[in-house]
């Protein structure tokens, strides 16, 4: 009986070890693909093939000044339409229409023609700071930008024409 229990115990430990090793292998694979993506981005940037973030936003009919001038870098996965913007720390920008936007160190969103949706890491001040979930421009000729932050907030598009310098804040 003791021999059978020992075999069963070693089988269970062996199976758990295989699962853990498999999980570690998956983590290493994800990490290496992330490093590979970052390296490709840096290489393309050095070769001058990567567009600036304002140019990318303009191409998608969004105001080029939606993000601050002093970003570290951005990643855009065209196949999944995922945009990630990296900043050195939480910061905020005041725009010429007196609106304010606060950014987390990493802002994620889905980028499509005239729209940033599923935004994580962006807030605007309505009366208090409210999470922005979507930013859109109805058409190419529209002079309004629509921010969805709990409520729909229309703002003048020309307030976001030029990227502005961000000011550091303590917390997002």
C-alpha to C-alpha distance for 139 and 116, rounded to whole angstroms:
14
Q: What residues does 135 pair with on adjacent strands? A: 116, 147
pLDDT digits (tens, 9 = 90+) for 56-66: 999 999 999 99
Which two three-digit tokens encode residue 99? 């609106």
pLDDT digits (tens, 9 = 90+) for 80-119: 999 999 999 999 999 988 999 999 999 999 999 999 999 9
User: In this structure, is the dihedral angle defined by the CA atoms of residues 34, 37, 43 and 48, taken in order, positive or negative?
Assistant: negative
pLDDT tops 90 at residue 37: no
Average pLDDT, the chain: 84
Say if pTM beats, i.e. exceeds, 0.85.
no
């Amino acid at each position: 009986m003791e021999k059978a229990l020992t075999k069963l115990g070693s089988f269970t430990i062996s199976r758990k070890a295989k699962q853990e090793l498999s999980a570690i292998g998956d983590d290493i694979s994800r990490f290496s693909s992330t490093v590979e993506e970052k390296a490709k981005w840096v290489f393309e940037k050095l070769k001058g093939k990567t567009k600036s973030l304002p140019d990318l936003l303009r191409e998608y009919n969004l105001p080029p000044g939606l993000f601050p001038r002093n970003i570290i870098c951005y990643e855009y996965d065209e196949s999944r339409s995922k945009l990630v913007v990296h900043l050195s720390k939480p910061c905020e920008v005041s725009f010429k229409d007196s609106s304010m936007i606060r950014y987390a160190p990493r802002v994620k969103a889905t980028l499509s023609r005239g729209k940033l949706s599923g935004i994580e890491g962006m807030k605007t001040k309505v009366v208090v700071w409210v999470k922005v979930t979507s930013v859109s421009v109805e058409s190419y000729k529209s002079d309004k930008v629509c921010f969805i932050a709990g409520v729909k907030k229309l703002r003048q598009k020309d307030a976001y024409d030029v990227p502005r310098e961000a000011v550091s804040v303590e917390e997002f």
